[in-house]
Amino acid sequence: MSANAAAEAARPYNYAYLDEQTKRMIRRAILKAIAIPGYQVPFASREMPMPYGWGTGGVQVTASIIGPSDVLKVIDQGSDDTTNAVSIRKFFEKTAGVAVTTATTAASIIQTRHRIPETPLGAGQVLVYQVPIPEPLRFLEPRETETRKMHALAEYGLMHVKLYEDIAKHGRIAKTYDYPVMVGGRYLMDPSPTPKFDNPKMHRSPALQLFGAGREKRIYAVPPHTDVVSLDFDDHPFEVNKFDKPCALCGATDVYLDEVILDDRGGRMFVCSDTDNCETRRADGHRGELLGNEEPRA
Amino acid sequence: MITDDQPLLTARGITKMYGRHVGCTDVSFDLFAGEVLAVVGESGSGKSTLLSVLSTRLEPTAGTVCYRMRDGEMRDIYRLNEAERRLLMRTDWGFVHQDAREGLRMGISAGGNVGERLMAIGSRHYGEIRATALDWLGRVEIDLARVDDAPKTFSGGMRQRLQIARNLVTQPRLVYMDEPTGGLDVSVQARLLDLLRGLVADLGLAVVIVTHDLAVARLLSHRIMVMRAGRVIETGLTDQVLDDPREPYTQLLVSSVLQV
Ligand SMILES: [Zn+2]
Confidence at residue A5, expressed as pLDDT on a 0 to 100 scale:
60
Q: Which amino acid is at B150?
A: A
In this predicted structure, the answer to whether residue B2 has a pLDDT above a threshold of 50 is: no
Do the Cβ atoms of A124 and A108 come closer than 8 Å? yes
Q: Residue B235: its pLDDT value, please?
A: 97
Cβ B126–A158 below 8 Å, yes or no? no
Judge whether A78 counts as a catalytic residue: no
Active site residue A57: no
Per-residue pLDDT tens listing for chain A (298 residues): 455 665 555 667 799 999 999 999 999 999 999 999 999 999 998 888 887 778 899 999 999 999 999 999 999 999 999 999 999 999 999 999 999 999 999 999 999 999 999 999 999 999 999 999 999 998 888 899 999 999 999 999 999 999 999 999 999 998 899 999 999 999 999 998 899 999 999 999 999 999 999 999 999 999 999 999 999 999 999 999 889 899 999 999 999 999 988 888 888 899 999 999 999 999 999 999 888 876 676 5
Which positions ≥6 away from B109 have C-beta within 8 Å?
A165, A168, A169, B147, B148, B149, B150
Strand locations in A148-256, DSSP E? 181-183, 187-189, 208-213, 218-222, 228-230
Query: Using an 8 Å Cβ cutoff, are B192 and B231 in contact?
Result: no
B-interface mutation test, from A141, A186, A233, most B Cβ less than 10 A away: A233
Residues 6 or more apart in contact with residue A140 via CB below 8 angstroms: A158, A159, A161, A162
Report in angstroms the alpha-carbon separations of B218 from B30, B203, B205, B221. 20, 19, 17, 6
The answer to whether the CB atoms of B83 and A236 lie below 8 A apart is no
Q: Cα B20 vs. chain centroid, distance in angstroms?
A: 28
Residue B259 banded pLDDT, cuts 50, 70, 90: very low
Q: Are A63 and A96 in contact (CB under 8 A)?
A: yes
- Cα-to-centroid distance, B158 and ligand 1 (Å): 55
Size of interface A-B (CB pairs under 8 A): 52
Residues from chain B that touch A233, judged by Cβ atoms under 8 A, are 124-126
Q: What's the pLDDT score for residue A180?
A: 96
Please tell me the predicted confidence (pLDDT) of residue B260. Answer: 40
Strands in B231-237's sheet, in edge-to-edge order, are B93-96, B174-178, B206-211, B36-40, B223-228, B231-237
Which one-letter DSSP state was computed for residue A208? E
From B99, B94, B98, B84, select the one nearest B114 (Cα to Cα).
B94
In this predicted structure, the answer to whether residue B151 has a pLDDT above a threshold of 90 is yes
The pLDDT score that the predictor gives to residue A45 is 87
Helix (H) or strand (E) holding B29: strand B21-31
Domain B9-92+172-259, CATH: 3.40.50.300
Asked if B148's CB is within 8 angstroms of A153's CB, the reply is no
**Can you point out the beta strands (E) in A131-201?**
181-183, 187-189
Judge whether A242 and A228 are in contact, CB under 8 Å: no
State percent of chain B over pLDDT 90: 93
Predicted confidence (pLDDT) at residue B3 exceeds the cutoff of 50? no
Instruction: Please report the pLDDT score of residue B26 as a whole number.
Output: 97
Is the predicted pLDDT of residue B122 greater than 90, yes or no?
yes
Closest CA in chain B for residue A168 = B148
pLDDT band, residue B115 (cuts 50/70/90): very high
**What's the pTM value of the predicted model, to 2 decimals?**
0.88
CA distance A8 to A95: 11
Give pairs for A105-109: CB < 8 Å, separation 24+.
A106/A71, A106/A73, A107/A71, A107/A72, A107/A73, A108/A69, A108/A70, A108/A71, A108/A72, A109/A62, A109/A65, A109/A66, A109/A70, A109/A71, A109/A72, A109/A73
**Band of the pLDDT at B257, cuts 50, 70, 90?**
low
Q: What pLDDT does residue A9 have? A: 58
Closest residue to B115, CB basis, from A155, A164, A236: A164
- Return all residues near A93 (Cβ < 8 A) that are at least 6 apart: A72, A100
B249 vs A21, A179, B206, B228, CA distance in Å? 71, 61, 27, 8
Residues of B in contact with A164 (CB under 8 A): 111-112, 115, 119, 126, 129-130
Domains in chain B: boundaries: 9-92+172-259, 104-171
Nearest residue in A to B119, CA atom: A157
pLDDT score recorded for residue B50: 98
Optimal mutation site among A149, A158, A165, interface B, most CBs of chain B within 10 A: A165
Predicted pLDDT of residue B256: 80
